[in-house]
Amino acid sequence: MPVNEKISKETGASAAAIEHHYGTGNEYFELWLDKTMTYSCAMWDQHDAQQTLDSAQLRKIDYHIEQAHALDADSVLDIGCGWGSVLDRLHTRHNIRSSVGLTLSESQAGWISQSFDHPGMQIRLESWQDHGAPDASYDAIISIGAFEHFARLGLSADQKVGIYRDFFTRCHAWLKPRRWLSLQTVAYGNSLQKDFDQFIAKEIFPETDTPRLWEIFAGSDRLFEVVRLRNDRDDYRRTLRTWFSNLKARRDQAVAAKGEEEIQKFEQYLRLMAYMFEVGGLDLHRIAFRKIDSPK
Ligand SMILES: C[S@@+](CC[C@H](N)C(=O)[O-])C[C@H]1O[C@@H](n2cnc3c(N)ncnc32)[C@H](O)[C@@H]1O
């Protein structure tokens, strides 16, 4: 299904902006992500300094599956499914009957269709804004590391809240009564937009602005109750440092694939983001939302 450029252009990152980053090449990301190709903050065991990235990513995936109450689910929606690690886990480990993953990246969709063959798993090259009503409502929704792209830079707080409200209203309509949405997103911490230089916005994630926590809650107010909230910013510092080390270990291959200039940009981005999480300029929220059936 074609991506509706018009809608995503006016609000969040367009498909072209998403592909600017995620279309950098599947083989390139394979060099420094973990085996599951999960591209979001992992969940580390603070007592295990030797823990591998693979294990911390699976721990995070299982955390969200549990928070979304997807263990007993028939059908699950993953909004911003990346390279499909959550959906794969649902099908291989939890025998889920049907799942839908949304992504704006053609490279990711292509990679998933070559890597997995799960009956009942559907990948759609589609923005959440264009996702129609499912035949039957979903039992659970998971969205990890995608919410950051839903509002573009330069919008007012009111405009951002409007977009987030639209997102939560749709999730509310797609879910069965009293069911759950598990969301993970980066948010501004003790920082203002002007504290960030233009490097990330221009070179790494164009057309993308992160939310503030209150904007997420204004968007979800009276649609979902917030049952659990964790700010795991130190987990993102450790994840980014690990990605940086992985990239360093395979730097020659990375440079051969992408060129010196591009690799330097990625190194700068990984270092800068790790620093922002370390000092609290950015937070990493994992939020368990439960649908309110009769909103006031
Ligand atoms: C950082 S990746 C995270 C991928 C995956 N959830 C993970 O944890 O590995 C962000 C994902 O969000 C998707 N995305 C961004 N904006 C979107 C939108 N408007 N609708 C659907 N997916 C979107 C991207 O295509 C990409 O798959």
Q: What is the pLDDT of residues 187-227, one digit of tens each?
A: 999 998 888 778 877 777 877 899 999 999 999 999 999 99
| Residue of higher predicted confidence among 234 and 202 | 234
Q: Which fold has domain 5-21+76-233+282-291?
A: Rossmann fold (3.40.50)
The predicted structure's pLDDT at residue 3: 41
Compute the distance between CA of residue 290 and CA of residue 282 in angstroms, rounded to an integer: 25
Closest CA relative to residue 76, chosen from 58, 63, 94, 60: 94
Compute the distance between CA of residue 103 and CA of residue 106 in angstroms, rounded to an integer: 8
CA of 47 to the centre of ligand 1 (A): 30
pLDDT band, very low/low/confident/very high, at 10 (cuts 50, 70, 90): low
pLDDT higher than 90, residue 23 = no
Global confidence as pTM: 0.95
Question: Domain residues of the chain, as ranges?
Answer: 5-21+76-233+282-291
Closest ligand 1 atom to 127 CA: 20
Which protein residue's CA is at the shortest distance from atom 8 of ligand 1? 40
pLDDT band, very low/low/confident/very high, at 136 (cuts 50, 70, 90): confident
The pair of structure tokens assigned to 95 is 């025998």
Which protein residue's CA is at the shortest distance from atom 1 of ligand 1? 145
CA of 296 to the centre of ligand 1 (A): 31
Q: What is the pLDDT of residues 79-94, one digit of tens each?
A: 999 999 999 999 999 9
The pair of structure tokens assigned to 91 is 């099908």
The predicted structure's pLDDT at residue 4: 41
